[in-house]
């Protein structure tokens, strides 16, 4: 495939993938910071700081659930789009061997 062309042609889908990627990076950054701060609190035996870090777990958990839901929704929408395209062009059985589905 030409490296200049995006792998997915649907602009909305591409934008949603970028959003998911951004959310994952944000969540990873939060977790990384929490781990560093938790190690510091442990070494310094700072229970107040440790409790603050634990309280921020809810934000990471919320991002995790939201990201999972975004991914499931994107996969379902992409599957439906591909299925609709296949049903317009060929039967599902023969379409499974055509270009409608990505090759591994």
pLDDT value of position 19: 92
Distance of alpha carbon 81 from alpha carbon 85, whole angstroms: 6
pLDDT value of position 7: 53
Give the pair of three-digit tokens for residue 81.
Answer: 């789009």
| List of the chain residues with pLDDT < 50 | 1-2, 5-6
pLDDT value of position 89: 58
Helix (H, G, I), strand (E, B) or coil at 84: helix
pLDDT value of position 2: 47
| Domain assignments of the chain as residue spans, ordered by start | 11-95
pLDDT value of position 10: 77
Give the pair of three-digit tokens for residue 11.
Answer: 């602009």
* Nearest Cα residue to 31 out of 60, 68, 64, 58: 60
Give the pair of three-digit tokens for residue 84.
Answer: 């609709």
pLDDT value of position 99: 53
């Amino acid at each position: 495939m030409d490296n200049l062309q995006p792998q997915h042609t649907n602009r909305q889908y591409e934008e949603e993938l970028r959003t998911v990627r951004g959310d994952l990076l944000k969540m990873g950054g939060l977790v990384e910071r929490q781990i560093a701060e938790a190690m510091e609190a442990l070494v310094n035996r700072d229970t107040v700081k440790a409790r603050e870090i634990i309280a921020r777990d809810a934000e990471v958990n919320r991002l995790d659930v939201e990201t999972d839901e975004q991914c499931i929704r994107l996969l379902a929408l992409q599957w439906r789009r591909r299925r609709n395209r296949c049903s317009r062009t060929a039967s599902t059985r023969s379409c499974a061997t055509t270009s409608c589905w990505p090759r591994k």
